[in-house]
Amino acid sequence: MDGFEAQARANGFFAPAGVDEAGRGPLAGPVVAAAVILPEGYDHPLIRDSKALSPKARERAFSIVVADAVAYAIAEASPLEIDTVNILQASLLAMRRAVEKLSVPADFLYVDGTFPVPCVLPQLPLVKGDSRCRSVAAASILAKVTRDASMLEFDRIYPGYGFAGHKGYPTKAHYAAIRLLGPCPIHRTTFRGVVE
C-alpha cells in the first residue's frame, strides 16, 4: 500500500499527503475530510481502508495515525454548505480545507475518488484510493472517526432521529423519524428523503 508515496518521493516530492472524506451519502450532518502525511516507508497493519475496520479498530487506528503522522488535519463542510454548492463541491471544499490546515505543507496529493482537490498542488485522484494508498487510508480513518463522533453529539442535541445508530445515513428508521419529526437543523434539505 505504500508504493504511491514512495513513487512521489522518487519523483522529487518530500511531503505527499493522502486525502479522503467521510459523509457524502448521509441525509444529515457535515461532510468531513482529512489530509495525512506519513513518514517515509511507513507501514502499519491497522492503517487500511476505514470501511474494512470495526468501530473499535478504527478508534485504535485513529490514535496510531495521530501519533505517527508527520502531519495531519481534519476539516468539514456544513450541511448548509452542502445544500448551497452540492455534495460533491462541498466534499472537495472540505478536502481543500484539510490540506490547507496541514502544519507541514504537502507538495503532492493522493486523493480518494475521481476528482482533484481544487488547489494548485500536483495531485493524483485514485479510485478506491483508501484501499490502495496508505496515506489515503489514514485520511479515511481520521475522517470517518471524526464524523461518527460528531453524529453521536448530534444524537444528544437532536434526540429522536437515531443519529447514534445510523450516523445520518438513509435507513428506514431515519426516514421514519424525518416523517414523524420533520427535518432538524443538520439535515441536508436538498437531499431526496428530506426535501419531500
Q: In this predicted model, what pLDDT tens digit does every residue of 87-100 receive, in sequence order?
A: 999 999 999 999 99
- Using alpha carbons only, give the angle 164, 144, 154 rounded to the nearest 5 degrees: 30
Quote the domain boundaries for residue 117: 3-150
Residue 66 lies in a domain: yes
Task: Kindly tell me if the per-residue pLDDT of 1 is higher than 80.
Answer: no
Residue 124 lies in a domain: yes
In the chain, % of residues over pLDDT 90: 95
pLDDT level of residue 51 (50, 70, 90 thresholds):
confident
Which of the pair, 50 or 101, is modelled with greater confidence? 101
SS3 104: coil
Residue 160 lies in a domain: no
Residue 70 lies in a domain: yes
The chain-wide mean pLDDT, for the chain, equals 97
Residue 99 lies in a domain: yes
Residue 21 lies in a domain: yes
pLDDT level of residue 2 (50, 70, 90 thresholds):
low
For the chain, the domain total comes to: 1
Phi/psi region, residue 120 (left: phi>0; alpha: psi -120 to 50; beta: rest), is alpha
If you average pLDDT over residues 15-40, what whole number do you get? Answer: 98
pLDDT for position 196:
84
